[in-house]
Structure 1
Amino acid sequence: MSQTAASPHFPAHTLHTAPAAARPALERASRKFGILPLPLARFATSPLLVRAFDELLAVFEGATLSPVEREVVVMVVAGENGCDLCRTMHRGLLLRAGASPEVAAALFERRPAPDARLQALAAFTEATLRERGQVPDADLDAFLRAGFTAEQALEVIVGIGTTTLSTFANRMTRSHALR
């Protein structure tokens, strides 16, 4: 995976150059991914941002949505927010979580997923984003008919918030596009 152009304002920190307050979260991310992802290396300019993302991600990982379902939410938000790096990273995480290659490809390419339940989740996530949370009853009903719960509808909002924080920070730090 190529790195994006350097940012004069947001250097790519290492575990050794990052502010001390950012290091614990960066170390956890390094263990999870096997590397320190460029976005997090640049996020380290603000230990508060690193902490916020780390804590929000931990909260979202505690959702009743499955790991595959959480990755579906992330893929939709990353696509809507124009974060190519996120889409690429999370396509790999989606596959690692157990999604089929066909589902991962469809979500990456921003077309309907071949799994009806996961497509209902993707469509609901899109509707939630489009309507800024004021989802029409028909969209919510379709989500619930697919086997999801009202609790999970609200968990989608947690995923949107977590991923939006990351994608907006990626865009500001110039970590969002692959080159």
Structure 2
Amino acid sequence: MTFTKHTTETAPEESKELLKKVLDKFGFIPNQDKILAISPSIYKAYNQSFDLFLGKSSLGLLEGQVVIMTTSYENNSPYCMAVHSWGMKMTKVPKDVIESLRNGKPIADSRLETLRDFTRKLIINKGHIDEKTLSNFFEIGFTQENCIEIIGGIAAKTISNYVNIVAKTEVDEIMEQYKWSK
């Protein structure tokens, strides 16, 4: 089954404004947004939660991107891995960090690796974190607030991961060079 890809003209009325904002921000509408627009309430919830996580959490942009890429890797979402590889490159994240995340390998920076490992374990253990992992997370300087924010980031990213997996969303042309498979 092919999922409908909406435009600013064909989308449900409640999704049109969000699509226009995305178009203004990027100069194009990514395939993911065209598909998410099918459900205005979920599209709005996704955008709000994702924007709040990346833009307002105490983690900051780089650490937020580590959470997003780790979530997309663990959920095996080729579309989201390509999109966020492209985004990380555009925001000048070091190449070794991007490559580690794309390959599910440890990151050389110990703080970022602790974050990646914590996020990964939250996902694969469905929230059941052992005391050692939690202690390591706090000992390196992360906070309880960070912990809650990571859970929110995982939740937001999982919406788009699952949508793109189910819809078999094609990578946008601008992101072709970042195609990915686990």
How far apart are 1:114 and its partner, in Å? 1.6
Q: Is 1:29 aligned with 2:46?
A: no
Q: Which runs of 5+ in 1 are unaligned?
A: 1-6
In 1, distance between residues paired with 2:114 and 2:36?
Answer: 33
Q: 1:98 Cα shift? A: 4.0
Which residue among 4, 11, 14 is the counterpart of 1:18?
11
Deviations 1:39-72 (A, max 9, x none): 1101111112211111211221311011011110
Contact 1:75–1:90 under 8 Å retained in 2: yes
1:145 is aligned, of 133, 139, 142, to 139
Moved more, 145-154 or 155-164: 145-154
Q: Does 1:131 align with 2:125?
A: yes
Deviations 1:134-169 (A, max 9, x none): 211110111112221111011110000000111111
Cα shift at 1:34: 2.7
The partner residue of 2:148 within 154, 164, 178 is 154
Question: 2:84: which partner in 1?
Answer: 90
Give unpaired runs (5+ residues) of structure 2: 172-178
TM-score, length-scaled by structure 1: 0.89
- 1:29 is displaced (CA, Å) by 2.1
| C-alpha contact 1:19 1:45 (8 A) present in aligned 2 | yes
Distance apart, 1:38 and its partner CA: 0.3
Question: 1:176 offset after TM fit, Å?
Answer: 6.5
| Counterpart residue type for residue 62 of structure 2 | V
Looking at structure 2, the residues matched to 176 and 128 of structure 1 have their Cα atoms a distance apart, in angstroms, of: 28
The answer to whether residue 40 in structure 2 is matched with residue 47 in structure 1 is: yes
Moved over 6 A (4+): none
CA distance in 2, matches of 1:163, 1:127: 16
SS of alignment partner, residue 82 of structure 1: coil
Query: Which residue among 66, 76, 80 is the counterpart of 2:74?
Result: 80
AA in 2 matched with 1:169: V
> What is the RMSD of the two structures over their aligned residues, measured on CA atoms?
1.7
Quote the sequence identity (%).
28
CA distance in structure 1 between the aligned counterparts of 2:169 and 2:27, rounded to whole angstroms: 18
